[in-house]
Structure 1
Amino acid sequence: MSPLESRDERLQQAMKLVLLATLPGLLALFWFYGWGVLINLLLSVATALAVEATVIHLRRQPLRPTLTDGSAVVSATLLAVALPPYCPWWLTVTAIASGLLLGKHLYGGVGKNPFNPAMLGFALAMVLFPQPMTQWPAHSMDLTSAVQQVFNLGQAPDAWVQATALDSLRINKSLTIDELFAGNPAFGRFGGHGVEWVNLAFLAGGLLLLQRRVFGWQAPVGMLASLFVVSLLCWNGSGSDSHGSPLFHLLSGATMLGAFFIVTEPVSGAKSPLARLLFGVGVGCLTYLIRTWGGYPDGVAFAVLLMNLCVPALERFASRRQQQVTP
């Protein structure tokens, strides 16, 4: 087996494990939101494969191993689970196509991208189409209604969307935290309704990847620890001006998806252990700042992209530290 074939095989195995680890989160999303999750996934994967095949053809390269390494499917899956279920089909297609083209192939393809393609696609969709990106369903739909909603084939049912827990907390001016949890259907027991279980499901999948040593512990631990510490220091109880407890932030939004499936991306993320730790810490701090004082309810995607820009500086800092401690 040649070194190139060995590397490609290792990449395929890693991508398969990542896809397997997303299953608990996908099942939890399907349980709470229904068929829209699977429609998003199918649209995203199909678009990703079509974009990959088109770019490879234009570059006059063989389809294998690029099309079969699994990286495009993983990016499509991670973006699909981050998008609101039942969002318009064109939004899903635009997000994954722009993420792959601008975040991956613009720089030469897999292994060369400075930004996380899934998060770049998500961020672009959030900036360009903020209204459909914030329409999270209040309940699931049957398959027929889901297809009609995604492909705009019929009138949407009344009151089928609601603000997320993070968005409700960000715009809250008068209700206490206890009142929000008691009276707002977007809130669950500890975090967002349903989303807290989705986060626990992605946590379970992430721990599997950690146990199989698909990635190191530094980036996810750095992100979760910094998010916990900053939210604890800024937590001012349950008053109407509260920004939420540490547990609320850990179990809301895309926290666990970001910690175990996004900040651990090996190409756009940091490489050395210290740099990975600092990368995760930066993502956690920025996520809280964006959630609390920024213009978007969940700041994971923007935090990751901002820290992608800092990777060269983090690597230089880690290298200097290593040289200082090495006798």
Structure 2
Amino acid sequence: MTGLNLTSPHVTGRTSVSWVMGWVLLALVPGWVVLIVSFSVGYAINMVLALLTALIAEALLLAWRGRPVMFFLKDLSALVTAALLALALPPLAPWWLTVLGTMIAIVFAKQLFGGLGNNPFNPAMVAYALLLVSLPLYMTTRWASPDFSLPIADTLDIIFAGQTPVDGATGATPLDVYKLDISRLTSAEVLQSPIFGSWVAEGWDIANLAFLAGGALLLWKRIITWHIPVSLLAGLGIMALLFSGDADVRTPIDLHLFAGATMLGAFFIATDPVSAATSNRGKLVYGAGIGVLIYLIRTWGNYPDAVAFAVLLMNFAAPLIDHYTRPRVYGHDKSVKGFKND
């Protein structure tokens, strides 16, 4: 028997990486459409730029590494990374910002680590965080106002020709407005701003509901499990209930849930199977940690949304979480705890 490579038989499932990624892209469509309708066609331009850049960058890196280009391009993982980044970026950001961010995500955060399955951090969030830290002016002043209808021609001029947006076309996000204004106004006065609309936040609330619906689709297709999104929303919600009970002091829970990128983060970003925790118990800890960090950074940090930074910080912790939440191995009475080897 020496020299024989004996392996166990395997059953191949009906799912594949391209099947999973295809459904993720499909589930993103409702939220993407709402963002385009509510804010700007810039979200459509961002998406096209990001998808094209991702395909080109991935193809060049795969060829440079001597890997089969079409085989890996067809898994659609590069397109998912690009789509998530395009949805996270301001819709009136200059074209080169979207291209630069996508190249960072694909080249530095994915391919240089070895490609899909080897990246320790969420590539889209790595790119977003680096852009936000390095180019804060473009990342914070190019959010389209929901109550200002910007012509497509003007949108193209802003994105491709470097034209400065006219007054009223851009503005701060609802989370940023509330956090800054609540220090000098009451909650009732702050919420009179048109940016908060008739429910939670003009445009943002419907987009979050759309991403929630997309997340429900992924749960129904069993592409993700409930552990990370539910624990993330629970962690964020509990923190808001504990520390934001007085809306005249801090941002209330409804804004935390529906006025930022919470649902996109909970169902599409935090659930990245490569950089997240893997065991079910680990996913609960991982998701709750992201939710708590989102609240802490939003409330006492300098960044009003904080999803990217919270996810990246918990990406750091994911291997340790997995180590301490390993499930019971078949044939053993109990699971291994900590660094024991038995």
User: Is the aligned partner of 1:222 residue 2:231?
Assistant: yes
Q: Tell me which residue corresponds to 2:305.
A: 298
- The one-letter amino acid paired with 1:204 is A
Q: Tell me which residue corresponds to 2:286.
A: 279
User: Is the aligned partner of 1:209 residue 2:218?
Assistant: yes
Output the CA distance in 1 between the equivalents of 2:224 and 2:72: 22
RMSD across aligned positions (CA): 2.1
User: Is the aligned partner of 1:254 residue 2:264?
Assistant: no
User: Is the aligned partner of 1:174 residue 2:174?
Assistant: no
Q: Is the 8 A contact 1:87 1:133 kept in 2?
A: yes
Q: Evaluate the alpha carbon distance shift between residue 91 and residue 190 of structure 1 in structure 2; reply closer, same or farther with a 3 A threshold.
A: same
Tell me whether 122-131 or 188-197 shows the greater mean CA deviation.
188-197
Q: Report how far residue 324 of structure 1 moved.
A: 7.9
Q: Tell me which residue corresponds to 1:89.
A: 95
Structure 1 SS opposite 2:304: coil
Q: Is the 8 A contact 2:40 2:144 kept in 1?
A: no
Q: Figure out how many residues of one structure are paired with residues of the other and give that number.
A: 321
User: Is the aligned partner of 1:52 residue 2:58?
Assistant: yes
Alignment equivalent of 2:151, drawn from 117, 142, 145: 142
Output the CA distance in 1 between the equivalents of 2:135 and 2:149: 22
Q: Tell me which residue corresponds to 2:6.
A: none
Q: Tell me which residue corresponds to 2:320.
A: 313
Output the CA distance in 1 between the equivalents of 2:280 and 2:16: 21
Q: Evaluate the alpha carbon distance shift between residue 157 and residue 280 of structure 1 in structure 2; reply closer, same or farther with a 3 A threshold.
A: same
Q: Which runs of 5+ in 1 are unaligned?
A: none
Q: Tell me which residue corresponds to 2:241.
A: 232
Q: Evaluate the alpha carbon distance shift between residue 280 and residue 25 of structure 1 in structure 2; reply closer, same or farther with a 3 A threshold.
A: same
Output the CA distance in 2 between the equivalents of 1:179 and 1:198: 24
Q: Is the 8 A contact 2:326 2:335 kept in 1?
A: no
Q: Report how far residue 107 of structure 1 moved.
A: 0.8
Q: Tell me which residue corresponds to 2:340.
A: none
Q: Tell me which residue corresponds to 2:296.
A: 289
Q: Report how far residue 154 of structure 1 moved.
A: 3.9
Alignment of 1:59-138 (within 5 A): 59-135=65-141, 136-138=143-145
Q: TM-score, normalised by structure 1?
A: 0.93
Q: Report how far residue 177 of structure 1 moved.
A: 1.3
- The one-letter amino acid paired with 1:103 is A
Q: Is the 8 A contact 2:236 2:292 kept in 1?
A: yes
Q: Report how far residue 9 of structure 1 moved.
A: 6.0
Output the CA distance in 2 between the equivalents of 1:321 and 1:227: 30
- The one-letter amino acid paired with 1:218 is H
Structure 2 SS opposite 1:161: coil
1:259-318 deviation line (CA, Å, top 9, x unaligned): 000111100111110111111000000000000001111110000000000011100110
Alignment of 1:4-83 (within 5 A): 10-83=16-89
Output the CA distance in 1 between the equivalents of 2:234 and 2:165: 41
Tell me whether 185-194 or 113-122 shows the greater mean CA deviation.
185-194
1:212-263 deviation line (CA, Å, top 9, x unaligned): 1001110000100111111000013232xx2222122110110000000011
Output the CA distance in 1 between the equivalents of 2:134 and 2:14: 35
Output the CA distance in 1 between the equivalents of 2:333 and 2:83: 41
Q: Is the 8 A contact 2:179 2:251 kept in 1?
A: no
Q: Report how far residue 209 of structure 1 moved.
A: 0.5
Larger-gyration structure (1/2): 2
Output the CA distance in 2 between the equivalents of 1:257 and 1:235: 22
Q: Tell me which residue corresponds to 2:203.
A: 194
Q: Evaluate the alpha carbon distance shift between residue 8 and residue 54 of structure 1 in structure 2; reply closer, same or farther with a 3 A threshold.
A: farther
Output the CA distance in 1 between the equivalents of 2:266 and 2:220: 15
Q: Is the 8 A contact 1:225 1:284 kept in 2?
A: yes
Output the CA distance in 1 between the equivalents of 2:234 and 2:127: 26
1:18-75 deviation line (CA, Å, top 9, x unaligned): 0110011011001111210100000111111111011011112211211111000001
Q: Tell me which residue corresponds to 1:267.
A: 274
Task: State percent identity of aligned pairs.
Answer: 42
